[in-house]
Amino acid sequence: MATIRLGDIAPDFTTDTTQGKISFHEWLGDSWGVLFSHPSDFTPVCTTELGTVANYFPEFQKRNTKVIALSVDGVESHLKWIKDIEETQNVTLQYPIIADESKEVANLYDMIHPNADNTLTVRSVFIIGADKKVKLILTYPASTGRNFDELLRVIDSLQLTANYSVATPANWKDGDDVVISTAIKDEDIPAKFPKGFNRIKYYLRMTPQPNK
């Protein structure tokens, strides 16, 4: 089983979901994507996560990002679970859940870690760019719920740094100053970053976020 690394093309697949059969790359289209997995249906932490993503759905839409969940149970089970999620989290689920009973997708994305559990998927997150390349991989243990504010923050950073010669510093949030790429010479900064910059060290130069 090949390990997926950053920059790899996200493996394509065709699968059943709660919103019908999809081919993953075709379903993504020109959007960014978040694929996140769950150990199984009717699990407590996952119920809160799926509800949170439903609440955050408009924020993902603002970022041209589609979200899709995965669990190794079937569509019928998923649909029953959705009723519980909507009831307990006071949401309407707008995005599909992959029915991966064969574990084909879980194995394709290396979501089963035998030393954690032989059969259940770990809580994996893959952020995929519009170019279908994997931009971020996160893996959580079954006991720890994910922080979706952090995933939105990362998408903001990834989309910003894909379009400008900048990086985002520790704890950066949308609207904060950013780091100018070390490949840019001091004398070339004014043309690229007309808002000005602060030269802290020759390798650490800050500028206001260029797309704000």
pLDDT digits (tens, 9 = 90+) for 129-176: 999 999 999 988 878 899 999 999 999 999 999 999 999 999 999 999
Q: Which helix (H) or strand (E) holds 65?
A: strand 65-71
How many C-beta atoms surround the C-beta of residue 146 within 10 A? Answer: 19
Instruction: Indicate if 46 belongs to the active site.
Output: yes
Residue 20: CB partners within 8 Å, gap ≥ 6? 96
- In this structure, what are the phi and psi dihedrals at residue 124, rounded to the nearest 5 degrees? -95, 150
Catalytic residue among 4, 35, 46, 151: 46
Whether pTM > 0.85 for this model: the answer is yes
